[in-house]
């Protein structure tokens, strides 16, 4: 699923940014599956000819499992990898200012409590630079189930969410941090997605528009 997720995010980026090849992209990646998705995205961006570099929110050797495997692949390819804890925040800010697009692959749905420490500093730094930010699955710092924000949270321009829209992207205050939301299919079997417990009713602007009576001006 990580490969599917990363590929669909990359394809969505191409749809959002028709000049993607010309952009300088920075990916901020955590140690979990969200970071792993970011590594897959980086591989596809690199192969597409995009200038991409990755800031790791933990040291290289702490990233394990499928995420670690994808990290090793892009390392061997020559993608620039920087361990954030080894660089001054001023240098990171300068790199962000010199970029065109930020991809948030720090936490995703893996949020557990309030974001603190280095992650909090990086999120605040990204937000104050006012760059275009695409979040993978959910903006880091946003509770995917409730939409609550209890600390620093990525203010995304776009959120590319995977498989299904997350409730937290639809409820405020979370909806105010998600930007434009795109849902991408990552190949989860349809019978699993038809589970009644996953179904909720959402009122959209299209529904409201269809219910308004026509009045001649």
Give the residue, 11 or 198, on which the prediction is more confident.
11
Mean pLDDT value across residues 73-102 = 98
How many CB atoms are located within 10 Å of the residue 167 CB?
15
Distance from C-alpha of 19 to C-alpha of 147, rounded to nearest angstrom: 32
State yes or no: pLDDT of 158 exceeds 70. Answer: yes
Secondary structure (DSSP) of 120-150: HHHHHHHHHTT-EEEEESS-TTS-TTT----
State yes or no: pLDDT of 201 exceeds 70. Answer: no
How sure is the predictor about 196, in pLDDT bands with cuts at 50, 70 and 90? Answer: low
Average pLDDT, the chain: 94
The residues, ordered by sequence, that sit 6+ positions from 72 with a Cβ below 8 Å of its Cβ are none
Q: Are 118 and 57 in contact (CB under 8 A)?
A: yes
Tokens of 126: 């990204």
pLDDT tens digit sequence for 39-63: 999 999 999 999 999 999 999 999 9
- Start-to-end CA distance of the chain, whole Å, equals 52
How sure is the predictor about 154, in pLDDT bands with cuts at 50, 70 and 90? Answer: very high
How sure is the predictor about 207, in pLDDT bands with cuts at 50, 70 and 90? Answer: low
pLDDT tens digit sequence for 13-31: 999 999 999 999 999 999 9
Any idea what the Cα angle at residue 41 is, between residues 165 and 130, rounded to 5°? 75
- Domains of the chain (ranges, CATH numbers): 2-189 (3.40.50.10260)
């Amino acid at each position: 699923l990580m490969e599917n997720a990363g590929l669909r995010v990359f394809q969505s980026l191409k749809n959002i940014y028709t000049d993607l090849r010309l952009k300088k992209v920075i990916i901020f990646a955590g140690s979990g599956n969200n970071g792993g998705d970011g590594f897959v995205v980086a591989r596809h961006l690199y192969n597409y000819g995009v200038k991409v570099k990755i800031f790791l929110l933990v040291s290289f050797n702490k990233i394990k499992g499928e995420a670690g495997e994808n990290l090793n692949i892009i390392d061997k390819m020559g993608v620039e990898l920087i361990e954030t804890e080894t660089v001054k925040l001023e240098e990171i800010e300068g790199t962000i200012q010199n970029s065109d697009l930020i991809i948030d692959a720090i936490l995703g749905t893996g949020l557990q409590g309030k974001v603190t420490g280095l992650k909090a500093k990086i999120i605040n730094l990204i937000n104050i630079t006012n760059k275009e930010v695409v979040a993978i699955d959910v903006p880091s710092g946003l509770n995917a189930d409730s939409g609550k924000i209890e600390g620093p949270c990525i203010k995304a321009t776009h959120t590319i969410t995977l498989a299904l829209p997350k409730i937290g992207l639809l409820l405020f205050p979370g909806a105010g941090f998600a930007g434009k939301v795109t849902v991408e299919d990552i190949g989860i079997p349809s019978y699993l997605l038809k589970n009644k417990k996953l179904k909720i009713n959402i009122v959209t602007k299209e529904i409201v528009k269809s219910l308004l009576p026509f009045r001649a001006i």
